[in-house]
A and B are shown apart, each in its own frame.
Chain A
């Protein structure tokens, strides 16, 4: 990877590490939720598709943590497999249990649209290593969004049962989705310096993309926006059991060479 020409201040570096970790944490937790469908998806092709998407998200997490390693020498596997819940900075949106197929597809869709648009904006980061990662990940994320957008349409316009489940999923997820936009401590300074995309601008684009799609194309009713969101240091009760499962093998065999 290209060595950064940007010289970061200590404050900027600490904030960037927090942001990279938060980005990676959302990917890791959502990938784990996606992986829970392996062997259980409604049809084989979708089983494969969701496993592919989860694998891509893990690849993105790996790239973010590689950027972090370049800053502080930390180890990606140790970060993923040994931190406790209160050390994770994942959003509650990705922690919620996988739910039914409509819930899984709708959450992945809302997330993919957010990620694709954030990455698109991050391609212009003045921090070259991040711009490079964004360029790479953006190309992969497009496939996710195409796939999940079609599924949301298919479910919303399918049978009364599938439509009800999709609307229920939207009602359940909407109050949580705002947490994706929660900045990490010091993020504003990085945005001002051009290192990170302006979250508000990305959010405006995101709403412009998904709100008409959900309302007009899919005929869904958007619930009222959620209350003010607590930050990424507040987790759901679901994170601890998720980590317990995800980290079990690593914790039992920390010296295994293949990780």
Chain B
């Protein structure tokens, strides 16, 4: 046990968290999504992971929290605390570039760059994940999860989900 704890580094923990999937979009991990904000190892070997929720009402939050704790415990950490923070608030701009491509291949249009503007009545520019056309229509401003909206592509006729930009 002691030997394993000696090897526990922040890099190893980050690498383990890279394999924790987002429960609602399993092609991306919690680190791909930018949800993990900080990893600290105390002098006593206790690990503190700070994560930030995507949407405050997301029903997957407790699953994500449990999965993060489990992944760190699996590395042999003696104690793990998973803390949440709201500052700075999560933004889709934190989704990693290669994860955006995986989202697209999975059939979800990745988010356009977010702006912290006040109230916009214009929808974001969204591209069809299948044929890359901009000739798309939003068919529902909300989707099957809090982070997505529904679209249909008028070019290739594919219905698809797109990330909200927040």
Task: Give chain B nearest CB distance to A64 CB in angstroms.
Answer: 10
The answer to whether B142 touches A58 (Cβ under 8 A) is: no
B3 touches A (CB below 8 Å): no
Closest to B148 in A: A52
B143 interface residue (CB < 8 Å to A)? yes
Chain A residues whose C-beta falls within 8 Å of the C-beta of B5 in the assembled complex:
none
- B142 & A52 in contact (Cβ 8 Å cutoff): yes
Nearest CB in chain A: distance from B162 CB, A:
13
> B140 — which chain A residues lie within 8 A by C-beta?
45-46, 48-49
For residue B57, CB closer than 8 A to chain A, the reply is yes
Interface residues of A in 124-144 (CB under 8 A from B): 132-133, 135-137, 139-140, 142-143
Chain A interface size, as a band, is 20 to 34
Once the chains bind, are B58 and A59 in contact (CB under 8 Å)?
Answer: yes
Partner of B57, one of A58, A146, A147: A58
A216 CB-CB contact with B under 8 Å: no
- Tell whether A56 pairs with B146 under 8 Å between CB atoms, given A62-B57, A132-B86: yes
CB of B4 closer than 8 Å to a CB of A: no
Q: Answer whether residue A57 sits at the interface, using C-beta atoms and an 8 A cutoff.
A: yes
By the criterion CB–CB under 8 Å, are B85 and A1 in contact?
Answer: yes
> Is B56 touching A146 in the complex (CB atoms < 8 A)?
no
Neighbour of B55 across the interface among A45, A59, A133, A142, CB < 8 A: A59
B89 located at the interface, meaning its Cβ lies under 8 Å from any Cβ of chain A in the complex = yes
With known contacts A60-B57, A146-B121, A135–B142 Cβ distance under 8 A:
no
Chain A 42-71 near chain B by CB (<8 Å), digits 1 or 0 = 000110110111011111101100000000
State which residues 138-166 of B face A: CB under 8 Å: 139-144, 146, 150, 164, 166
Name 12 interchain pairs, CB-CB below 8 A, sorted by A: A1-B86, A45-B142, A45-B150, A48-B142, A55-B146, A56-B57, A59-B55, A116-B119, A135-B88, A140-B55, A140-B57, A146-B119
A residues near B (Cβ < 8 Å) are 1-2, 45-46, 48-49, 51-53, 55-60, 62-63, 116, 120, 132-133, 135-137, 139-140, 142-143, 145-147, 149-150
Question: 7 closest pairs, A vs B, by CB?
Answer: A59-B57, A59-B56, A45-B140, A52-B142, A49-B142, A132-B86, A55-B57
